[in-house]
Structure 1
């Protein structure tokens, strides 16, 4: 059954991933946009923790995990997010629904393969500043697009306790922005439109190790290293004089020739280390730390004197609990309860203020009776940014849903 979902799911997901606007954050103006991929729904419900060698769930952050799969896994996830934006004087609310990832894992003995598509970051904002003083300029900023990743990875089980893996990501996408500036008393203004076509590769390597520390207790560990990579941005910019109607629609009066440039954005290497302990198929508690030096995300159209990038860091604490994995009499005892806490320094600094993200996560996994497939729900409540120094604070609530469909492929037929 899972095979029938693969082709149709890939086609549908590819179309939707290009069409959807995955964020409503004004901070998506900077760099490559708002990084919205936070892991699969199962991991996201534990604040991103992914240290256990799981045989029926995909871990897209560490390619060593593919070696531990026992069944073919199709994993697809989406989310619904509400976001309240506020400054020291104003507030607004937004909502959005997105598809977050589509991936397949294939076990082949000691080897395991994974491939899929991840809409990694999104640009989506519309900001207006209408001047009350007729002598001052009014402004309007719009942006759409983002960065997607197609990945292919392999994992190998060296021993029953130790696995290693590597994967390759091809990054591609397009970001389009426009800015409009005008006097409210004059229906003529200046509009600048920018288009950035993004492309590049990045590579990751990972290790996962687990061992027993007592009869029932296991120790879990995970190490992932992302190499420094470059994203090439082919930029096209155009400045025009436009007529503006009452709904801010524009028509070109006069336009300059397009300006074409090529820029390189550097993503430094990133190290993620996680450690956990627990009882297999019963409970697990873990901690994870990620660190990356300051990135060079400035592009020709979104680099400013009050903008800089600092070291990225993330600390996560989380885990899960299953009352009775093998219960035949109570379905609720087979549910997986998840939770976590995260603190993330996004690496973005505006007006000398670090933009941080703090959140609490909860989740629950529903096993599909008669199979190893499962449905997972997650909830995330958090705060990003600050209202100091004329910035925007985002108070968000995210709801995530994933399907992890498991099946056995490549079986020999007993009868022809």
Structure 2
């Protein structure tokens, strides 16, 4: 049944959408779900910019930033151990040619730790890679339910990486990620008799794909003082193409739906023979990704930069996920952002030590439906609030944006994201000195 869908959004004359998993986006129907942003709240508050890095914040997008120069506070002997955890809330207004609906979702974003080791730096953590969460209903010409679509799950990423300081200005790094998770979707096809009454039994198709695989990410970063006050930062990351193994199951059930509660009662189930079609175990291609960026600023005062990312999404392929009238094309994005600190060392005013961030981004997601490219735009703002000692801080960011279009009977998402994180620092390793 999934395979014969022309496209969910062609026949969406009515929407019934609730919060699901880590996303409520109907576009998570495609592939292995909506791609989650790999980065901290600090990055997201600057339009997704990941060029900038300092000694007190984690950078999850470039493993070269796991290391860096020792800081004066620690007698130039070491750097702080950095810990970061983040979560977000999304509120969506979904618009179609026939009307609009609202949806929301709350999700864990990342948990990561960065440990200094001389010229090396070790980073590891856990974060979601993709997320699936939708509940859609289409109506027939008579205004009755024709199909109901549900999906949940997603892919998670556990990573470990190492950065190395080659010179005072140049550092490199690499991380290895183990991707794991599952994608589940359900389709119910409603059947009516000649009088237009719902028949007693309906048909439900259940699909599940358990995914796993490894991929690597390489990074390089360069920093240099152009003048006594002006600093240049430039970085690049590259993720080669990799594969995921997808173990797939599919079943068809005869069900009865309670008209009052909506509860589904299964009468019998038949498992599809995916082995005969070679679909029980398939390989999914994760496309390569290249990102380059640069910026300038005054240390502990301000920074402004830009970043371009290209992803070879047209290589994404897995027969079990193929859906008619939807394809993947190469994706790209551009981000601009920065921050400003009124007075980093102020003792008289707390708000002068607050970091004020802003940025915006344009993104071609790589998804194409009915020959319509799905694009995304976002503008973001945020603050870094100093807490405790050793430069620890709480970060709050908001983002307003838009994804998709109402052309070709598709859906346009107008979203608001609230992002919150803690960035904590401590000194674990200290040389003992004796007089």
- Within 5 Å, give how 1:21-100 maps onto structure 2: 21-68=21-68, 70-100=79-109
1:222 is the counterpart of 2:231: no
Residues 210, 413 of structure 1: alpha-carbon distance in 2 compared, 3 angstrom cutoff? closer
Once the 2 structures are TM-superposed, how far is the Cα of residue 298 of structure 1 from its aligned partner? 4.6
Task: Measure, in 2, the Cα distance between the counterparts of 1:163 and 1:21.
Answer: 37
- Tell me the CA shift for residue 166 of structure 1: 0.4
Q: Secondary structure at the match of 1:332?
A: coil
Q: Counterpart in 1 of 2:415?
A: 396
Name the SS of the counterpart of 1:68 in structure 2: coil
- 8 Å CA contact 1:84–1:91 kept in 2: the answer is yes
Matched, 1:250 2:259: no
Residue 174 of structure 1 corresponds to which residue in structure 2? 182
When residues 102 and 332 of structure 1 are mapped into structure 2, their CA distance, relative to the original with a 3 A threshold, is same
Q: Who is 2:10 aligned against? A: none
Match 1:205 to one of 205, 215, 218 = 218
* CA displacement at 1:268 relative to structure 2: 2.1
Q: What's the secondary structure of 2:23's corresponding residue?
A: coil
Equivalent residue number for residue 74 of structure 2: none
* Counterpart-to-counterpart distance in 2, 1:108 and 1:297: 38
Over 3 Å off, 4+ runs:
295-302, 412-415
Structure 2 counterpart of 1:15: none
Deviation string 1:227-286 (CA, Å, 9 cap, x unpaired) is: 111111110000122222214432223322343411211122111001000101100000
Cross-structure match for 1:326: 345
Contact residue 258 and residue 264 of structure 2 kept, 8 A: yes
Shift of 1:129: 1.6
Aligned 8 A contact 2:282 2:320 in 1: no
Can you list the C-alpha shifts for 1:61-96, whole angstroms capped at 9, x where unaligned?
A: 000000127210110001111011110111111122
Deviation at 1:138, TM superposition (A): 1.2
Contact 2:285-2:317 at 8 Å conserved across structures: no
State the partner residue of 2:72. none
Q: CA deviation at 1:117?
A: 0.2
Partner Cα distance (2:156, 2:432) in 1: 39
Task: Give the match for residue 140 of structure 2.
Answer: 131
CA RMSD of aligned residues (A): 1.8
Cα distance in 2 between the residues matched to 1:53 and 1:75: 14
Shift in Å at residue 296 of structure 1? 4.2
Q: 1:238 aligns with which of 251, 271, 278?
A: 251
Q: 2:204: which partner in 1?
A: 191
Counterpart-to-counterpart distance in 2, 1:102 and 1:386: 33
Distance 1:52 1:243 in 2: 56
TM-score, structure 2 normalization: 0.88
TM-score between both structures, scaled by the size of structure 1: 0.91
> Does the CA contact (< 8 Å) of 1:164 and 1:207 recur in 2?
yes
1:319-357: CA deviation from partner (whole Å, max 9, x where unpaired): 000011111111111010000010000000001011111
CA distance in 2, matches of 1:307, 1:123: 17
> Are the aligned partners of 1:29 and 1:302 in contact in 2 as well (CA < 8 Å)?
no
- In the aligned structure 1, how far is the partner of 2:175 from the partner of 2:317? 27
Offset of residue 38 of structure 1: 4.3
Question: Does 2:148 align with 1:105?
Answer: no
* Alignment length (residue pairs): 396
Verify the 8 A CA contact 2:38 2:61 in the aligned structure 1.
Answer: no
